[in-house]
């Protein structure tokens, strides 16, 4: 299916559990035609607790229904601020991810969101990829290629390979060849390791707040090199990509820093994050000309400085090429929603290890005509 440009609202709530991002994007599902305004709805303390308590759980488990209802309500409230959107891309809230076992679980019904917003909703982006044998993650890489294509057309970067590094709860990177014909041939992507999640969890557990704002605590500490070295012995780092992680796959790292002073614990978690990214770059097809950081982690000065120390290329926020690093994942699920609508691939062998191109996702409408068509 092909068609013209659609103004779509992408919505994302990541594993860092801080809130919902929403961003408008104009796209035909291939090229980015323009970026629109964005918005954010923070989770209150009780809301974050409901989501946090449901982590690791599957449909039917205690607390999952409450988390799903909360996700839909929060997204519907924010979507009301964007009446101009013709379509919504809704990621839902990832609670568990086990592609080799039980599958993947994003809580929240897109059908419920469609009814509450009165608009078509594309959702459940990961299940089909996992069903076909893929990892189901990361899903932003095809969009990263589109971003590089946009930046190249806008004269904001050259045609040399670059890496997009997203630092949410989990870190993931995409190696992009901007000169490739499309994302199916121009990307290699995989999860690098834990990112903000263990830092945020440590801060909450010690009553220090929801996150280490700006890395202020980590810059005061000294990393425990022994803990970082032990962390790097995990077999995940030797596995060839594509590959993906659950939010809590490295619980041993969080346990290892429990007895460290606050600043040293934060510094050690930052050092582990940077070490995992450096380990990931050994799997790239060619060295990148630059590493562009998006997600909340780029606001952490300790993370950015440590990455610069560990890597052999410039480390910059994605704003360096005119993108919004806070909204890139929300924009990604808007762009992906249009691809689902038009039957285009959203993942493939080099991004999720699926055996072939996959167009995942489900489409829900608030109502149907008598003929079963969107009116």
Collect all residues with Cβ–Cβ distance below 8 Å to 224 and sequence separation of at least 6.
Answer: 256, 257, 260, 264, 268
**Is 119 within 8 Å of 87 (Cβ atoms)?**
yes
Q: Compute φ and ψ for 204, nearest 5 degrees.
A: -65, -45
Say how far apart CA 95 and CA 252 lie, in whole Å.
Answer: 19
Centroid of chain to Cα 192: 12
Query: CA 261, 274, 324 angle in degrees (round to 5)?
Result: 110
Give the separation between CA 93 and CA 81, rounded to whole angstroms. 20
Q: What is the 3-state secondary structure (H, E, C) of the chain?
A: CCCCCEEEEEEEECCCCCEEEEEEEEECCCCEEEEEEEEEEECCHHHHHHHHHCCCCCCCCCCHHHHHHHHHHHHHHHHCCCCCCCEEEEEEEEEEEECCCCEEEEECCHHHHHHHHCCEEEECCCHHHHHCCCCCCCCCHHHHHHHHHHHHHCCCCCCCCEEEEEECCEEEEEEECCCCCCHHHHEEEEEEEECHHHHHHHHHHCCCCCCCHHHCCHHHCCCCHHHHHHHCCCHHHHCCCCCCCCCCCCHHHHHHCCCCCHHHHHHHHHHHHHHHHHHHHCCCCCCCCCEEEECHHHHCHHHHHHHHHHCCCCEEEHHHHCCCCCCHHHHHHHHHHHHHHCCCCCECHHHHCCCCCECCCEEECCCCCCCCCCC
Alpha carbon 250 to its chain's center: 18
Query: Both tokens of residue 50?
Result: 């409901």
Architecture of domain 6-138+331-340+354-364: 2-Layer Sandwich (3.30)
Q: How far apart are CA 193 and CA 241, in angstroms?
A: 12
Distance CA 150, CA 331 (A): 13
* Dihedrals phi, psi of 263, to nearest 5 degrees: -65, -40
Query: How many CA atoms does the CB half-sphere of 7 hold within 13 Å?
Result: 10
Instruction: Indicate the domain borders of the chain.
Output: 6-138+331-340+354-364, 157-321
Contact in structure between 168 and 195 (CB atoms under 8 Å): yes
| Residue 374 confidence (pLDDT) | 44
157-321 and 6-138+331-340+354-364 share a CATH fold: yes
Per-10-residue mean pLDDT, the chain, length 375: 84 91 97 97 95 96 98 98 98 94 96 97 97 92 96 95 93 93 92 94 95 97 98 95 84 96 98 98 95 95 98 97 94 98 96 94 78 41
Say if domain 157-321 classifies as CATH 3.20.20.140.
no
In the β-sheet with 170-176, what is the strand arrangement from edge to edge? 187-194, 170-176, 162-167, 291-294, 315-317
Residue 79, Cα to own-chain centre: how many angstroms? 19
Cβ contact 43:353 at 8 Å: no
pLDDT for 373: 42
Distance of CA 306 to the CA centre of its chain: 21
Instruction: In whole angstroms, give the CA distance from residue 33 to residue 149.
Output: 11
């Amino acid at each position: 299916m092909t068609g013209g440009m659609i103004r779509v609202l992408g919505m994302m709530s990541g594993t860092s559990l801080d809130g919902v991002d929403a961003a408008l994007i104009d796209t035909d599902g291939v090229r980015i035609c323009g970026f629109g305004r964005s918005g954010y709805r923070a989770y209150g303390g009780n809301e974050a607790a409901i989501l946090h308590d449901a982590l690791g759980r599957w449909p039917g488990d205690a607390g999952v229904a409450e988390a799903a209802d909360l996700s839909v309500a929060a997204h519907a409230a924010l979507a009301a601020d964007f009446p101009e959107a013709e379509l919504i891309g809704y990621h839902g809230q990832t609670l568990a991810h086990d592609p080799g076992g039980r599958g993947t679980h994003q809580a929240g019904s897109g059908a419920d969101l469609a009814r509450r917003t009165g608009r078509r909703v594309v959702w459940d982006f990961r299940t089909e990829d996992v069903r076909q044998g893929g990892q189901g993650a990361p899903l932003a890489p095809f969009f990263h290629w589109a971003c590089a294509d946009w930046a190249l057309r806008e004269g904001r970067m050259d045609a040399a390979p670059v890496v997009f590094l997203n630092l949410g709860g989990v870190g993931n990177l995409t190696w992009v060849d901007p000169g490739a014909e499309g994302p199916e041939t121009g990307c290699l992507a995989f999860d690098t390791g834990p990112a903000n999640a263990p830092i945020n969890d440590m801060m909450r557990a010690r009553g220090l707040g929801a996150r280490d704002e700006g890395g202020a605590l980590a810059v005061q500490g000294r990393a425990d090199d022994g803990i970082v070295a032990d962390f790097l012995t995990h077999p995940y780092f030797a596995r060839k990509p594509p590959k993906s992680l659950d939010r809590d796959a490295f619980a041993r790292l969080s346990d290892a820093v429990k007895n460290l002073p606050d600043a040293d614990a934060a510094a050690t978690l930052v050092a582990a994050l940077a070490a995992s990214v450096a380990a990931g770059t050994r799997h790239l097809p060619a060295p990148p000309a630059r590493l562009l950081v998006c997600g909340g982690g780029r606001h952490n000065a300790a993370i950015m400085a440590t990455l610069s120390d560990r890597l052999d290329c410039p480390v910059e926020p994605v704003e360096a090429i005119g993108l919004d690093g806070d909204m890139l994942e929300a924009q990604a699920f808007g762009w992906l929603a249009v691809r689902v609508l038009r039957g285009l691939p959203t993942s493939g062998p080099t991004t999720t290890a699926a055996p072939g191109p996959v167009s995942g996702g489900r489409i829900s409408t608030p109502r149907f005509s008598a003929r079963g068509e969107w009116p």
